[in-house]
Structure 1
């Protein structure tokens, strides 16, 4: 058995197990609410944060009150405690895609979990409709036994041909009502998000239908102008898929969809913060123009956390050179090899506060899909280190922001 297969098996088994009560002391907490030193956390046997504080005396009393044995108390020794990272747009890792059934889901999830992503929406690439329906069913099945999977994101098939990026043009479709219903039925309620080019025929109607069904429509892979994008947001779209990528860009006489998203406080903006998909100067601009609305995403594909070489994105051949993935057929960018751990590091490197960087990887993506409040999927809200929230906790190194320890819903992954 390879080392990675051992990790996959261990992570999968851990996430299928029951949580245990534990405590963390002497951490430096950073979340969207700010920085707190000498921070402690009590997590109960339901995978919920039961209590937090800063007083050593209160910590001792809380450990007694919640029955935390000494062997279940972790001394963080000044490590940084943050909420677990939440990726609402990624396709795979460790040579596997989320389109590859339960084996692919287990493997790719383990790869991202090793970098602090405790919850993930599994993005599915454009495929024939029957394949998309099968892949949705696999996501639904995986969700029944493990808490780290929030649901599915369909990035296709309702994309503009001219902005298809690395999606198979043979499988692109207009969002006809029958197809919209077919995908909803196959998902059994696991569909969280769907990217739609709103200018397509039936585009606005599909946005309304998905929004009414509790799915977050996202504007992306589109040639929409400013007014069309505004109409899409008024119809119920609440996310912009990886802003700047696979859409018409900013122009002083043709503003396009980007300003429509930036000026609308209802819209969460996905950003791939690797300095390659979007240059650093534009990343800074986006953070400054839309504070508290930037959700870091990876758009990661199967080559994530793997050596350069040949890989697959759906049925398409991809070549990875210097960590950058491109289609063999036309050299188009084919997703990324990014992790949220690296994205957070990059945002801090750009000069933004760690609070802003952590918020963009935790509370903002949680809020985008309604997971910042109690909900039927996770039960407890996500995105903060506070009583009543899920015990999704990271301990990071102080010097380089690397993930040292990870808990998901009270289950220790690493």
Structure 2
């Protein structure tokens, strides 16, 4: 019997290695990719998060260079997911992204990031309400990549207009938002209402979204355009302890919850895709074929 494989569109780090580290070495990245392969992950999008634009450029360039030097890294890292810096600055919506580097979307900065990524950008996550007249969304939608809404709070009409302009995905729906929301008109309900026009991504660790809620979301969204991501950081496939994600100091306890030191908000996950798959089967009532579809087939189609 063939082993189950996975494609993960949002990986900040793995096996003790932070992809956003300014001292990321060839040895460190090779180690991380080797563990991903052992864990049956056939490919990922290495995710670069919000920082100063020159810092994000340097991190992308470093990943490009290391990928060019190592066949294993090139095999596993299929491209990049740029998450930020054009995100909502509203409390709760920015998540763990550093507030000081969040900014209004603009095409010049976006071009700088894309150039640094050397044609390997597959997904850009941004807040539609931070993109005046959707200039960046329109620019990106013509670049053969996914424009994903995330860490955002557009009203329903704004979200629909952003979809018309080129938004085609939603990043880790159910997260990147405050824990307490208006009971009806909130970003989760708005995105679900637009499900026919969006790929919807979810984290299936049971922490970011309780399993009962994920069951509800999947009943509404179906599996045709649903994708499971890990949003993993360095603690995935690594023991509890203290880690870094970019400039953030994080702590992972025995409960596997990733938090900023001294804070309650989540900051990525310590979940693996194999655990996500098992959770879908054991806790979310997915069949094996459904779980395979949303952990491998759909994300593979999204980056093909």
Structure 2: gaps of 5 or more residues = none
Aligned residue in 1 for 2:195: 264
Match of 2:33 among 105, 109, 113: 109
Aligned residue for 1:295, secondary structure, equals strand
Question: How far does residue 368 in structure 1 lie from its aligned partner after superposition?
Answer: 2.2
Task: Tell me whether 311-320 or 263-272 shows the greater mean CA deviation.
Answer: 263-272
What SS is found at the alignment partner of 1:317? strand
Change in CA separation of 1:347 and 1:228 when aligned onto 2, cut-off 3 Å:
same
Contact 1:197 1:203 in 2 (8 A): no
Q: What corresponds to 1:127 in structure 2?
A: 51
Give the structure 2 partner of residue 355 of structure 1: 289
Aligned to 1:169: 99
Partners of 1:110 and 1:289 in 2: how far apart? 36
Paired residues in the alignment total 291
Q: CA deviation at 1:97?
A: 1.3
Take 1:203 and 1:150, find their aligned partners in 2: how far apart are those partners?
A: 31
Structure 1 residues 278, 181: CA separation in 2 closer, same or farther (over 3 Å shift)? same
Normalization by structure 2: what TM-score?
A: 0.89
- The answer to whether the 8 Å contact 2:20/2:245 transfers is no
* Bigger strand fraction: 1
Report deviation, 1:281: 1.2
Equivalent in 63, 75, 88 of residue 160 of structure 1: 88
Q: What corresponds to 1:31 in structure 2?
A: none
Asked if the contact 2:11/2:45 (under 8 Å) is kept, the reply is: yes
- Return the TM-score normalized by structure 1: 0.67
Q: Are 2:142 and 1:212 equivalent residues in the alignment?
A: yes
Shift of 1:165: 0.8
Structure 1 unaligned blocks of 5 or more = 1-26, 28-79, 372-414
- Residue 64 of structure 1 corresponds to none
| Runs of at least 4 residues off by over 6 Å | none
Helix, strand or coil: the match of 2:300? helix
2:21 paired with 1:97:
no
Deviation at 1:118, TM superposition (A): 1.0
In structure 1, what is the equivalent of residue 214 of structure 2? 283
Instruction: State the distance in 1 between where 2:3 and 2:297 align.
Output: 14
Measured in 2, the distance between the counterparts of 1:358 and 1:93 equals 21
Change (3 A) 1:256 1:315: closer
Does the aligned pair in 2 maintain the 1:143–1:151 contact within 8 Å?
no
Deviation of 1:102 (Å) = 4.3
Instruction: Provide the residue aligned with 1:332 in structure 2.
Output: 265
Alignment of 1:130-279 (within 5 A): 130-144=54-68, 145=71, 146-162=74-90, 163-202=93-132, 204-247=134-177, 251=182, 253-256=184-187, 258-279=189-210
Q: Would you tell me which structure has more helix in proportion to its own residues?
A: 2
